[in-house]
Amino acid sequence: MKLVLHGYFRSGTSYRTRLALNWKGVPFDYVGVNLVEGEQHSDAYKAKNPQGLVPALEVDGEILTQSVAILEWIEETFPQRPLLPSDPIKRAKVRAFAAAIGCDIHPLQNLRILKKARELAGDDAEAGPAWARHWISLGFDALEKLAEQADGQNGFTFGDGPTLAEIYLLPQMFNARRFGVDLAPYPRLVAADEAARALPEFERAAPENQPDAI
């Protein structure tokens, strides 16, 4: 099976996908799509993903889009080192934690939303980062409480190793640091981020370690 991941080094959704593939030991080729330069809007890329978004994952010629669907496919296709607990209640809690990021935090601070926030603010350069900090902090307030209620060990959020919670959390923590969010109120999130990023599989997926990093 040949996998080709089309993504952007700083894209949270691309980062999630790299994390899952690396954790499960699945080899893949990587093709950078420069979002800042607008390569996602090219005819060539839109032939792969009509939405003009990253990531797109080629699987033996078939193309998968939307990171949520891609992550589900990865978990179903490569059951080794599972990212979801076996207990149905715990699985639901991990999924809820991930969805709080994927549905309620991340979409409000991706590139196209930040550009629109800046435009509506009269091209104020600080409008985008301020918007991102607001929504990330609001979401982290809830995530910290969810993490307090979880059964995490060794710094991780659920259980004693990484789950889908960390797959979603690491890219969001990267963006939080990028936009200058005060992380002091979120010790459990910081601990989970640090525990996961210390894993060599996750270190290889970090934005700064990608071939298109600038």
Q: How confident is the model at residue 126 (pLDDT cuts 50, 70, 90)?
A: confident
Residues 111 and 162 in one domain: yes
Predicted pLDDT of residue 34? 96
In whole angstroms, give the CA distance from residue 121 to residue 103. Answer: 24
DSSP states of 117-128 as a string? HHHHTTS-TTHH
Q: Residue 110 pLDDT more than 90?
A: no
SS3 198: coil
Give the residue numbers spanning the domain of 127: 88-201
Predicted pLDDT of residue 31? 98
Helical (H) or strand (E) element with 103: none
In whole angstroms, give the CA distance from residue 157 to residue 148. Answer: 8
Share of the chain above pLDDT 90, in %: 87
Q: Residue 102 pLDDT more than 80?
A: yes
- Residue closest to 4 by CA, chosen among 33, 29, 26, 23: 29
- What mean pLDDT, rounded, does the chain reach? 95
* Count helices and strands in the chain by DSSP H and E runs: 9, 4
DSSP states of 130-174 as a string? HHHHHHHHHHHHHHHHHHHHS---TT-SSTTS--HHHHHHHHHHH
Residues 101 and 182 in one domain: yes
- Residue closest to 13 by CA, chosen among 70, 63, 51: 70
Report if residue 212 sits inside a domain.
no
Pick left, alpha or beta for residue 25 (phi over 0 → left; psi -120 to 50 → alpha; otherwise beta): left
In whole angstroms, give the CA distance from residue 101 to residue 122. Answer: 28
**Listed residues 81, 101, 125: the one ending a domain:** 81
Residues 100 and 192 in one domain: yes
Residues 168 and 101 in one domain: yes
Predicted pLDDT of residue 115? 80
In whole angstroms, give the CA distance from residue 174 to residue 164. Answer: 16
Residues 124 and 197 in one domain: yes
Residues 75 and 122 in one domain: no
Mean pLDDT, residues 11-40: 97
Mean pLDDT, residues 17-40: 97
